[in-house]
Amino acid sequence: MLTCLKYSGFSASEIVTIYSSTIRSMVAYAAPVWYTSLNKNQKSQIESVENRALRIAYPNFDYSKAVSTAGIVPMLLYLDKICKDFFLSILNDSSPSNHLIPESTQHRYNTRSTKPIFKLYPKTNRFSNTLIPYGIKNYI
């Protein structure tokens, strides 16, 4: 699709806009549900989708230069931000999903860390990579 647009005379910025509004939004759909459980190979496959699209728009640039020229956030950082924003919205007391977050406690001792302690003991590696345990470990 993007190649046809390029040969039809669309500019690189127009191709990036079409990519961002169609392909990228479809890849990011429901990212909080599945992104945190991806392995390294799956993440590189997702990043290769964006790499291919940017190579069509900017054929002489490498991935990092094409991303900066296009003015977009790299795909994996974009997906991680979506997950982080969703997780932080769940922490809000008015969120209907707030009951999914385990109760937090404070440190009994005076430590330098002010982070709350969440009592969550995942039994499997698969569960520990879902949004709630991943968010507690990485976003708080």
Sign of CA dihedral 25, 18, 52, 3: positive
pLDDT tens digits along 92-135: 888 887 777 777 666 666 767 666 667 677 788 888 888 888 88
Q: Are strands 104-105 and 117-118 parallel, antiparallel or unpaired?
A: antiparallel
pLDDT in tens, 42-83: 999 999 999 999 999 999 999 999 999 999 999 999 999 999
Task: Look at residue 92 in the predicted model and tell me its pLDDT.
Answer: 82
- Sequence-distant (≥ 6) Cβ neighbours of residue 122 within 8 angstroms: 128, 133
pLDDT of residue 140: 78
pLDDT at 39 over 70: yes
Instruction: Read off the pTM.
Output: 0.79
| Helices and strands of the chain, counted as H and E runs | 9, 2
